[in-house]
Structure 1
């Protein structure tokens, strides 16, 4: 009887693992294109995102951070996370597309099954004038981004060297 009890106890412990616990080991958006709903602005916050099947990385740039260009110069601007800009990582129940972020009425599916906000890091923006001298090209990089899950686990294994590029018009006087 004792052997049967121990066997049942061991089997119960073996099968009691929860498949519902989500483990995020790495966040990889390096080969994914940058997207946005409205043309980036120099005067308002900008929402930029990357979608990788059922995952999304969302960057909310602080207002005015793209308005740092100087004709003829390369300008480097930094925005701290989360004080000035925010980065959010989401996992969905199914593949997601641009419409999820851009539709006036959000879709009911797919459902967000996990969301983690960055608690540390920098958004570094290098701004140069394009070859036609009509736009500023802003190359956005992330540095030292650190996410902390609801379980208190820190995710620092990020594969996001360059977030992407956006352009804004050079203001005319």
Structure 2
């Protein structure tokens, strides 16, 4: 009798643990590096793959730092999908990126996310400061991807994760050449725009609403300084998609800067702080009778685009400008 009673209790315990679903399974790709092909971001782990597909039109991974605790959020569903697959053999990128997909290996299980959100927090990764100028460059952007309240539909039922870390996905930053010759510096006839750009070059560095009093020749050899701001001495860097086809003067000295060539990157220097940062220093000397040499230096300048910044350097020579009486 005791044996029968014990068996009944054991059966009741088993029934009490059964919530109607089959055994919960877990997947973990935390320590796997992400790759990409087209609109697909994926992680491969032996015979398993976890991938996200987001249309390029949503611009999910722009090279732009997200504000603290304010990630980009994208709803799962429709054209945005998250899928887990297990195969009967090792998986390669060809299984995801090639069309048509290879015949082998064969998917033995598939989980498809039916709801949830994708959160993407982006940071910039910088170079070490230059040993001479202290300048830094953005090398790449790291996008940390987390699924929130994601629900997978799988052969045995559903799988729910309140928080599921997908991990990091990296994109390369655009290289800014910053390849300027100090002797290429020029000033427009109106004296309101100072620029440095190479003939047929793909970049330009210029100062709008330039304070022409910095070129005053009353006190030769004495440094004159002005602050960068959004109104006076507005310092701008442009990287073009193609080289300038007009003369530099025709481009930079136009009443309105031309729309061609298209701009790939545009950065604005942050407003200066007296004796601290964002300083334009000019030292004027006599070059020859009636001709003056103005050595123009940018000090402690930081550039900004959207939420991104980089440090130009402690002291960068913008150019050696010649003017005549």
TM-score, normalised with respect to structure 2: 0.40
Query: 5 Å matches for 1:18-57?
Result: 21=63, 23-24=173-174, 28-31=178-181, 33-36=183-186, 38-39=188-189, 44-51=191-198, 53-57=201-205
Q: What are the residue-to-residue correspondences of 1:146-165 with 2, within 5 Å?
A: 146-150=302-306, 152-158=307-313, 161-165=316-320
Query: Is the deviation greater in 141-150 or in 88-97?
Result: 88-97
CA RMSD, Structure 1 to Structure 2 (Å): 3.7
Deviation, 1:122, is 0.8
**Contiguous gaps of at least 5 residues in structure 2:** 1-25, 28-47, 65-172, 273-277
- Per-residue CA deviations over 1:72-100 (Å, capped at 9, x if unaligned) read x4121001112641210112121125143
- Alignment match, 2:282: 125
Q: Structure 1 stretches of 5 or more lacking a match? A: none
* Aligned-partner Cα distance in 2 for 1:66–1:94: 33
Q: What secondary structure does 1:64 align onto?
A: helix
Structure 1: distance between partners of 2:296 and 2:61: 36
Are 1:75 and 2:232 matched, yes or no? Answer: no
Query: Whole-Å Cα distance in 2 between the matches of residues 92 and 24 of structure 1?
Result: 12
Highest RCO, 1 vs 2 (Cα 8 Å, sep ≥ 6): 1
- Alignment match, 1:114: 265
Alpha-carbon deviation of 1:168?
A: 2.6
Change (3 A) 1:157 1:24: farther
| Structure number with bigger Rg | 2
Contact in 1 for aligned 2:193/2:253 (Cα 8 Å): no
The C-alpha deviation readout for 1:99-146, integer Å capped at 9, x for no partner, is 4324678655311233111004111101112243x1221111111010
Per-residue deviation, 1:165 = 1.4
Q: Please give the TM-score of this superposition, normalised by the length of structure 1.
A: 0.69
User: Across the two proteins, how many residue pairs are aligned to each other?
Assistant: 159
